[in-house]
Amino acid sequence: MRYISPTRVKILMMMFFATGVAGMVIGLSIANPSFTMIITFMGVVNFGLGAFFAYLFLTQTQSIPDKRKKKKKLD
């Protein structure tokens, strides 16, 4: 997988966690009985995506450029 900057991963992680928690709360307390299961499931999916980005944030390493491919300057 391609390297993603940590700031971008943090923003995505927070966004998915927040919408996941909000979806679960709304689905379990506010929603009509016919939509409770659907909204709660969507909240769980968003929470899972937040967990994936948290894993990605904690495990990815920055790729080091290959010095062999860099052109040398001729003076």
pLDDT digits (tens, 9 = 90+) for 5-61: 999 999 999 999 999 999 999 999 999 999 999 999 999 999 999 999 999 999 998
* pLDDT for the residue 64: 77
3-state SS, residue 20:
helix
Q: pLDDT at residue 70 above 80?
A: no
6-25 vs 36-59: helix axis angle to the nearest 10? 160
Q: How far are the Cα atoms of 13, 15, 52, 57 from residue 44, in angstroms, in the given order?
A: 14, 13, 12, 20
Helices (H), the chain: 6-25, 36-59
Total-model pTM: 0.79
